[in-house]
Structure formats: C-alpha cells, structure tokens
C-alpha cells in the first residue's frame, strides 16, 4: 500500500508499505538516507515483467510491516516480491502502476488535514508562514487566512507516486487549480513537494477537500480550512 494514502496503489519511485501478517521480527529503522537495502537481516527483492531485479531501500522493519522505497527503475505491471529475513521467506506478486498519486496527511492515515506547509506572500514578496494544521493528541485543520488584497497564500503539499506523471493538477470539487511547481523533498526519497496557490475567492469557504490528479488518476482526499 502507499505510505501516504494507505491505498493499494503504488508506482515506481514511491514510498510504500508491505504488510505481511506472518512477518515476525524485531523492529529496526533508519532515519537519514540513503536507506540500506538490508535492514535487520531483511531484504526485499523485486523482479518486474522485464525480468529486471532490484533490491528495495528499506527505512523500517517490524512485526507485520516493512516500509520501503519502490525503485524508480521498475517497469510498471506485475512485480514479484521476495522478502527474506534471517528466519523467514515470503514470495508474492504486487501490481505497480505508472502513477499512483497519494497525499500525506498530518495524522498519517491518508485523510483529514494534509501534511503541508503554507506561506502568505505580500505585494513586496515578503513571506510569512501560515499554519495549516494544529496537532495535540491528533491533528486538525487550522484556519488559513488569505490576508489582504495583494496577498497570496501558497500551499505546499507532500506527495508520492507522481514521478512519471505527464500532467498534475489539484482538484477541489468541480474546480481545478494549476500546480505552480513540483520538486523532490530535500531529505526523504520518493517524496515530492507540490505547490499550489489558494484562490482568493475561497475566502470564508471553510472546509475545502483537495485531491491531486496525476494524468487522470486521482489521489486520496485531504481537507484544509479557509477562513
């Protein structure tokens, strides 16, 4: 499943979770890239329909779960996964799509307020950070003020599964917003930063559902709050 949406749709060069109920191992993780292709005596070998075989970089191994990066060189289609630990071996097939857009949420469950940042830019180009989420026991949407005339609010969403997309757009109901820019996350492999301007016409709208469309494939839905 996608690490962002938790939906069963993944793509090359995206972050994914393998859930294997019978996987019994102690937990181990790495925080800083480059991630190893062997962690806690565990490897994930992937073979695509072109018979190309690669080892997936792994960031976490624990009971029932492996967090990894699906390598960018994988050919979309059926991919054979071989998971090997010091004591267990698993083999199964996964489907890898060309694109599998997914937005990270602040609560890591693929819904609710996005894991995002925002800045308000005034007419002189000065930027002021804008709160998107408020987190205590859980994260909720913070009211986003669009400021005065001449101000713009730029929202930066965290996404994965979009590296092979020819076209990206943000959709809010029937409205479509053009993406201002996309760039790789400076630290986390497989994660991308997607920038979009919040329209001034949304002032006072309240909760707005957003999804990212890569080519014609929609992501999971996240929600911001516009005051």
C-alpha gyration radius of the chain: 19
% of the chain with per-residue pLDDT over 90: 98
- Span 138-167, pLDDT tens digits: 999 999 999 998 999 999 999 999 999 999
Q: Residue 44 pLDDT > 90, yes or no?
A: yes
% of the chain with per-residue pLDDT over 70: 100
């Amino acid at each position: 499943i996608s690490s962002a949406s938790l939906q069963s749709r993944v793509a090359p060069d995206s972050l994914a979770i393998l859930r294997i109920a019978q996987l019994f191992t102690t937990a181990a993780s790495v925080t800083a890239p480059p991630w190893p292709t062997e962690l806690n005596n565990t490897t994930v070998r992937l073979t695509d329909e072109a018979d190309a075989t690669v080892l997936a970089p792994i960031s976490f191994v624990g009971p029932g779960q492996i967090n990894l990066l699906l390598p960018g060189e994988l050919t979309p289609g059926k991919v054979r996964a071989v998971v090997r630990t010091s004591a267990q071996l698993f083999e199964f097939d996964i489907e890898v799509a060309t694109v599998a857009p997914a937005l990270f949420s602040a609560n890591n469950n693929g819904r609710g307020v996005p894991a995002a940042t925002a800045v308000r830019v005034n007419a002189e180009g000065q930027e002021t950070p804008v709160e998107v989420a408020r987190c205590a026991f859980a994260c909720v949407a913070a009211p986003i003020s669009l400021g005065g005339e001449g101000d713009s609010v730029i929202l930066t969403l965290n996404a994965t599964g979009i590296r092979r997309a020819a076209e990206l757009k943000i959709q809010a109901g029937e409205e479509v917003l053009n993406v201002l820019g996309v760039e790789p996350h400076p630290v986390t492999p497989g994660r991308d930063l997607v920038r979009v301007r919040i329209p001034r016409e949304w002032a006072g709208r309240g909760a707005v559902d957003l999804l990212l469309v890569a080519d014609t494939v929609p992501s999971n839905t996240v929600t911001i709050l516009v005051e």
